[in-house]
Chains A and B, each alone.
Chain A
Amino acid sequence: MRLTCPLCGDRDRREFYYLGHETWLDRPAADAPPEAWDAYLHLRDNPCGPTRDLWQHEAGCGAWLVVSRDTATHEIASVELAR
């Protein structure tokens, strides 16, 4: 598998670190109820098909990326900078 980093271009999968679903971008507020933290840390939709997840170009520019891809086919639809 290869990912196209928006800053560095087409690169080998080994340059990237996978964190998990893009849920990781929606960090609850510090005073959010425990249920919100449970959902953030643990619960996942875990789709079989299109998903969006968070990667870092660890061995490249270091940018955090949101990758749209298919968990059933490993097809990559898009790679964007995470905001």
Chain B
Amino acid sequence: MRFNILEIVRQGLSGNSGWGPHWRSPDPKPEYDVVIVGGGGHGLATAFYLAKEHGITNVALLEKGYLGGGNVGRNTTIVRANYMLPGNSEFYSHSLKLWEGMEQELNYNAMMSQRGIYNLFHSDGQRDAYARRGNQMISQGDDAELLDRAAVRRRLPFLDHDNARFPVIGALYHGRGGTARHDAVAWGYARGADRRGVDLIQNCEVIGIDIEGGRVRGVQTTRGAIRAKKVALVTAGRSSQTAAMAGLRLPIESHVLQAFVSEGLKPLIDCVVTFGMGHFYISQSDKGGLVFGGDLDFYASYAARGNLPMAEHVMEAGMALMPMIGQARVLRSWGGIMDMTPDGSPIIDKTDIRGLYLDCGWCYGGFKAVPGSGFSLAHLVATDRHHAPAARFRLDRFARGAVIDEEATGSQHNLH
């Protein structure tokens, strides 16, 4: 079924009884050309672009739980291309362009909203750093605008501009950045991949990877063995575990990142604001909830829940930035498991095992990368050549010293 206004009217008049499932639930076949392990945003996008861009449709995507049940269904939904370093800059630029065409491409409403992102600064040094970043973004072909104190005061009147410690003296504005409906992105890619013939197989956990003579032969799953010519591991959050099944040890440590949502409020913030000095960022969902977060809890964890000190820190930063937030009540919070790499940048690469590909290490920036990651990994799997915008996301870059350390914080997994 193609979604359009006539269909909505027709379904509305017939009691909305004609909407069917958005994708099939096939049983796994014994063999596929490509098996994608992991049914999150990146895996689903990979399946979609394999079919659409490369005509490879004899593909199974295996998900141990349900589609979109991991971090793509629990994040703060921000989309942006405001990176600076070669490697990141071209990749996120490409990804944002895919975001801009995604809804038409998928025939699916992902509620993509380019509402603009403000990165606040509070000192001359920070302004210089943001001016440089803005220039880098513009040379990449993206948009950036340096706003002075008066402009920020006019556009974001609800901030505490005269905070004694961190007075707001300006902001870097990225107008094409914004937010999207995270679940819909997963569902849209799932539907698009399914319609092109990809088998999306849920409740199917991979428990082994078959390797013979240095080449991948398939996977063992809780629903039996599946042979495959190529296998892509797209399991951020559990990357170390899936890679270990192939004997690989990754440059990844898993950390918990918390986020918070307030009760639904009337429209209040029509953009995204980041307060780097307070380690805080905030936007408002279309349902009205303020969506905000901060830093990692800083120690390795798979618990998918955080500790109170970081929750307290985030609330304090929110109060410092916009004191009226104290009037709102927190509705819920959660902790997601982040693949932290030693330079804060991801990995999309082949491995020493022929036919085995890795897509992991997204730290806490995976959501905005969903289309770009899927596009680039599909290119790599289909052609065995790196897609140019993702060509620097190599697994061996740490050993080579070719790190992409956007925050310049050094070789420690939790500092990015």
A43 near B251 with CB under 8 A, answer yes
For B274-304 the 0/1 string (1 means CB < 8 A from A) is 0000000000000000000000001111110
| Contacts known (A41-B342, A42-B411, A45-B240); A34 close to B399, Cβ less than 8 A | yes
Residues of B within 8 A of A11 (CB): none
Residues of A within 8 A of B309 (CB): 12-14
| Contacts known (A41-B411, A48-B241); A18 close to B298, Cβ less than 8 A | yes
A41 near B253 with CB under 8 A, answer no
| Contacts known (A18-B298, A71-B301, A74-B303); A43 close to B254, Cβ less than 8 A | no
A38 near B398 with CB under 8 A, answer yes
- A-B residue pairs, 9 tightest by C-beta: A46-B240, A42-B251, A18-B299, A38-B399, A42-B398, A48-B302, A42-B342, A41-B411, A43-B249
For A37-53 the 0/1 string (1 means CB < 8 A from B) is 01101111111100101
B301 near A20 with CB under 8 A, answer no
Closest to B309 in A: A14
Contacts of A26-77 to chain B: CB distance below 8 A: 34-35, 38-39, 41-48, 51, 53, 55, 71-74
Would you call A1 an interface residue if the criterion is a C-beta within 8 Å of the partner chain's C-beta atoms?
yes
Closest to A18 in B: B299
Distance, CA A41 to CA B415, complexed state (A): 13
Residues of B within 8 A of A21 (CB): 253, 300
Query: Which of B249, B299, B307 has the largest number of chain A CB atoms within 10 A?
Result: B299
Would you call B413 an interface residue if the criterion is a C-beta within 8 Å of the partner chain's C-beta atoms?
yes
Residues of A within 8 A of B (CB): 1, 12-14, 18-21, 34-35, 38-39, 41-48, 51, 53, 55, 71-74
Residues of A within 8 A of B412 (CB): 19-20
For B168-210 the 0/1 string (1 means CB < 8 A from A) is 0000000000000000000000000000000000000000000
Interface size on B, residues (CB 8 A): 25
Closest to B399 in A: A38
| Contacts known (A14-B309, A41-B398, A41-B411); A46 close to B303, Cβ less than 8 A | no
Distance, CA A34 to CA B254, complexed state (A): 24
Residues of B within 8 A of A74 (CB): 301, 303, 307
Would you call B345 an interface residue if the criterion is a C-beta within 8 Å of the partner chain's C-beta atoms?
no
| Contacts known (A21-B300, A71-B303); A45 close to B249, Cβ less than 8 A | yes
Would you call B156 an interface residue if the criterion is a C-beta within 8 Å of the partner chain's C-beta atoms?
no
For B158-176 the 0/1 string (1 means CB < 8 A from A) is 0000000000000000000
A71 near B302 with CB under 8 A, answer yes
CB distance from A59 to the nearest CB of B (A): 12
Given contacts A13-B309, A41-B398, 13 further A-B contacts (CB under 8 A): A12-B309, A18-B414, A20-B253, A20-B413, A34-B399, A41-B411, A42-B411, A45-B249, A46-B252, A46-B254, A46-B300, A48-B238, A55-B299
A-B contact pairs, 24 of them (CB 8 A): A1-B307, A18-B299, A18-B300, A18-B414, A20-B253, A20-B414, A35-B399, A38-B399, A42-B411, A43-B250, A43-B251, A44-B249, A44-B250, A44-B253, A44-B413, A45-B240, A45-B244, A46-B253, A48-B238, A48-B240, A53-B299, A53-B300, A71-B301, A74-B307
Residues of A within 8 A of B411 (CB): 41-42
Distance, CA A18 to CA B296, complexed state (A): 12
Contacts of B226-284 to chain A: CB distance below 8 A: 238, 240-241, 244, 249-254
Closest to A35 in B: B399
B307 near A13 with CB under 8 A, answer yes
